Amino acid sequence: MNRPTEALRSLINSGTPFIAADCYSALTGRIVEQAGFDAAYMGGHATSMMHFAIPDSGMFTTTEMIEQSGRVAEAITIPLIVDADQAGETPADVYRAIKRYERVGVAGVHIEDEVPPKHSRWEGALVPIVEMQARIAAAADARQDPDFVIVARSDELYAVGGGGSGSLDESIARGIAYAEAGADVYLPTFATEEHLPRITAEVPIPIGGYTTLLPGLTIALATGWGVASAARAHQQWAAHLKEHGELPPEAFGFEGKDALIDQPVYDRVIEQWASRTGRPLRSAD
């Protein structure tokens, strides 16, 4: 079986576009794998919202994301790509963060050129190109596994709330510079189908995007829907319980639950323990 990093690198190099599907926990990572996706994606917005009930404005720390992503990587066999935000305040922080992401089993991360507090009421700017190049170079220097994938995300086209100016020329310039610094994939947030022919022609590394595999993209990170669906269902059933004082059977359980949580594996281990030590076993349901 390929290492997750090797599997991700092979997917990117295959020339066949693919989707890395949304997850924010070990269970949702398993669900994505069970559905047949070749890779999973763990976004900062989904993870910070689900685990800490905070927005994706820069308060969710590198340490918290490493901890959560390690749990997911341990639970799945497909490669996991993680939103590392800025991966710290300095290139030294980035260097240490990449080593830790690699150690917990993550196959790749994306690092962005925003300045926190991002996605907020503050009308901030992006870091200068040379600063982002330093982040990318530190990330490339830190990895021990040459297949660990470094994705450079630029929010230049994220003009409202993202810090960018909306310039396609600037987005392309950043992509070229980030590739020179050692990025394996370039992720120009909010690039449209009209933008992509120029970006793919001028930026010399594979291009990624969000949600939909537009023509020209190698990878799409389909994020946001998982946490929204889970929260919506929880809201609906909580309101139903409050109003009616009870819940219908369909509120409990879900398809494939036992397999997703390795119930048969642990049943076997416990049965063996009970048999070897003379402990009683209840009959199977």
**Which residues is 82 bridged to in the sheet?**
42, 109
Whether 83 is a known active-site residue: answer no
Query: From the candidates 22, 38, 56, 83, which is the catalytic residue?
Result: 56
Tokens of 232: 């919506």
Give the helix/strand (H/E) hosting 109: strand 108-112
Cβ proximity of 148 and 108 under 8 Å:
yes
Tokens of 41: 């994606």
Whether the CA torsion 72, 77, 81, 86 is positive or negative: it is: positive
Cis-peptide, bond into residue 117, ω within 30° of zero: yes
Q: For residue 151, what are the CA distances in angstroms to 161, 179, 185, 208?
A: 21, 9, 5, 8
Cβ proximity of 29 and 23 under 8 Å:
yes
Burial label for 221, CB within 10 Å (0-12, 13-18, 19+), is buried
d(CA 76, CA 82): 14
d(CA 143, CA 122): 33
- Residues designated as active site: 56
